[in-house]
Amino acid sequence: MSSQIDIAIIGGGSAGMSLAANLADLAPHAEVRVFEPKTEEERDCHWSFWGSGRHVEALKPACKGTWKRWQLIDHEKKVVHESVAQNYITLSASDYLKLCKANLSPTIQLVRNAVKKIDYKNNVAFLSAGDITYTAAHVFDSRPPEKKSGGMMQHFLGREIRTKEPITESDTVTLMDFRVDQSRGLHFIYALPFSDTHLLIESTMISQSKEPQQWYLETIDNWLNERGISVESDIGYESGVIPMDNCQPQDSRTSAIGAASGTIRQSSGYSFNYIQQQTKQLAGRISRGCYEVPTPISAKLVFMDRLFNRVLIKHPELSVKLFMQMAGALNGEQFARFMTGTASFSEWGRVILSMPKTPFLRHMWSV
Ligand SMILES: Cc1cc2nc3c(=O)[nH]c(=O)nc-3n(C[C@H](O)[C@H](O)[C@H](O)COP(=O)(O)OP(=O)(O)OC[C@H]3O[C@@H](n4cnc5c(N)ncnc54)[C@H](O)[C@@H]3O)c2cc1C
């Protein structure tokens, strides 16, 4: 069986479904198929980002938590940020994907199948999915990028719990608590209090190799014990690996979108905002007949992030200090802008002045 379409989107994750939902807004009559083998529940996790305004309002049905305070902690100090304009927001990935699905138009549809094969003839793509061969004029590919062995990555395991007693500071996200074992690489606890008895705690590493599952779990147990937090019940577990290196798409013949196209910030692993920007701009372009995928992270930012990572790899003893000093140099609004790639020249200046100069200058030429 065969079917002719305008656009094939491979992968219905963050980028694929965001692009489809934007196309439903901006090019609702295009014949589009999104190919995704997994259900929303099968690929549920938490996606967090800084945001504000109308865009955030629209995401409310998928929102699991919103905070105006966040903190970074090491053995010497605590940096607490408060923001009026920006929220730190956590979405349920499954609810977000369902929200996108609910916004599709009759000609923009989700196909619950993996793409098994892609062939090209005379600039037309032939995609095999299920029993059907789809003929598509344009293909956008969000399959996860190739993982480089030995590359820098953020890897984590999280435990979502109900606590026996209400916790303190349930209005504050812990972005990084470095008071954990630092012997295997840069390691921190990331904790999201969804309420005063509902908590997600992730043991997160930035390094070049993964650790055994038990190691992350023990870190979480110790962190809970040290704070006197007793677990009433487990809600779920979540683990992941986010590449923090240059990402290479799986197929160089297709146009990559999302993580495979370089939307992950190499210094932080955050990608959600950049995927939102990329897919919105791309849908706008498609509505005007242009199919070129925008690059949402500027070359300057990519260079600075790669330099930052280079210093992390070469000087692991400085890692905690680099993050603490960077956070300490900025207030809440400035930090949120820095993390979303919208910091001003003077905010960049503050961060650069707070960093130790010699290692950055030494590695500038090898990035
Ligand atoms: C557990 C986890 C938590 C994260 N949390 C955050 C966060 O809090 N904030 C943030 O900014 N970033 C976060 N990230 C990083 C990034 O935002 C996510 O990885 C995001 O999902 C990337 O979107 P994507 O569309 O590029 O890839 P994905 O969302 O991974 O989508 C790719 C899709 O392709 C599908 N696929 C694979 N092969 C085929 C095939 N042959 N045919 C059809 N479909 C196929 C997969 O099933 C998948 O659904 C997180 C990453 C992970 C892994």
Query: Ligand 1 center to residue 159 CA distance, Å?
Result: 19
Query: Ligand 1 center to residue 145 CA distance, Å?
Result: 10
State if residue 140 touches ligand 1 by the CB under 6 angstroms criterion. Answer: no
Considering the domain architecture, whether residues 54 and 183 belong to the same structural domain is answered as no
Residue-wise burial string across 86-116, b where 16 or more C-beta atoms lie within 10 A, e elsewhere: bbbbbbbbbbbbbbbbebbbebbebbebebe
Please give the pLDDT value at position 360. Answer: 86
Considering the domain architecture, whether residues 306 and 341 belong to the same structural domain is answered as yes
Using CB atoms within 10 A of its CB, is residue 217 exposed (0-12), middle (13-18) or buried (19+)?
Answer: middle
Q: Which two tokens stand for residue 179?
A: 């008071």
- Does 310 reside within a domain? yes
Tell me the average pLDDT of the chain. 94
- Does 292 reside within a domain? no
- Does 294 reside within a domain? no
Query: Ligand 1 center to residue 50 CA distance, Å?
Result: 18
Q: What CATH number does the domain containing 196 carry?
A: 3.30.70.1990
Do the beta carbons of residue 79 and residue 327 sit within 8 Å?
Answer: yes
Q: Indicate which residue's Cα is closest to atom 21 of ligand 1.
A: 14
Please give the pLDDT value at position 56. Answer: 84
Considering the domain architecture, whether residues 271 and 330 belong to the same structural domain is answered as no
Q: Is 260 left (phi over 0), alpha (psi -120 to 50) or beta?
A: alpha
Do the beta carbons of residue 354 and residue 325 sit within 8 Å?
Answer: yes
Q: Indicate which residue's Cα is closest to atom 51 of ligand 1.
A: 242
- Ligand 1 pocket test: pick from 48, 272, 277 the residue with the most ligand atoms within 8 Å of its Cβ: 272
Considering the domain architecture, whether residues 311 and 216 belong to the same structural domain is answered as no
Please give the pLDDT value at position 324. Answer: 96
- Does 195 reside within a domain? yes
More confident residue, 348 or 55: 348
Q: Indicate which residue's Cα is closest to atom 6 of ligand 1.
A: 47
- Does 80 reside within a domain? no
- Does 82 reside within a domain? no
Atom of ligand 1 nearest to the CA of 48: 8
Q: Report the distance separating Cα 269 and Cα 263, nearest Å.
A: 9
More confident residue, 301 or 15: 15
Do the beta carbons of residue 68 and residue 51 sit within 8 Å?
Answer: no
Domain count, the chain: 3
Range of the domain at 196: 153-243
pLDDT tens digits for 303-313?
988 888 888 88
State if residue 258 touches ligand 1 by the CB under 6 angstroms criterion. Answer: yes
- pLDDT over 80 at 344, yes or no: yes
Give the pLDDT band of residue 79 (cuts 50, 70, 90): very high
Query: Ligand 1 center to residue 14 CA distance, Å?
Result: 6
Give the pLDDT band of residue 361 (cuts 50, 70, 90): confident
pLDDT tens digits for 23-77?
999 999 999 999 999 999 999 999 999 998 887 889 999 999 999 999 999 999 9
pLDDT tens digits for 231-287?
999 999 999 999 988 777 888 889 999 999 999 999 899 999 999 999 999 999 999
Q: How far is CA 276 from CA 76, 250, 280, in A?
A: 37, 21, 6
Q: Indicate which residue's Cα is closest to atom 1 of ligand 1.
A: 240
Taking the alpha carbons at both ends of the chain, their separation in whole angstroms is 50
Single pTM value for the model? 0.95
Considering the domain architecture, whether residues 309 and 280 belong to the same structural domain is answered as no
Query: Ligand 1 center to residue 364 CA distance, Å?
Result: 31
Look up residue 204 and give its DSSP letter. Answer: E
Atom of ligand 1 nearest to the CA of 260: 26
Q: Indicate which residue's Cα is closest to atom 10 of ligand 1.
A: 270
Considering the domain architecture, whether residues 273 and 238 belong to the same structural domain is answered as no
Considering the domain architecture, whether residues 125 and 40 belong to the same structural domain is answered as yes
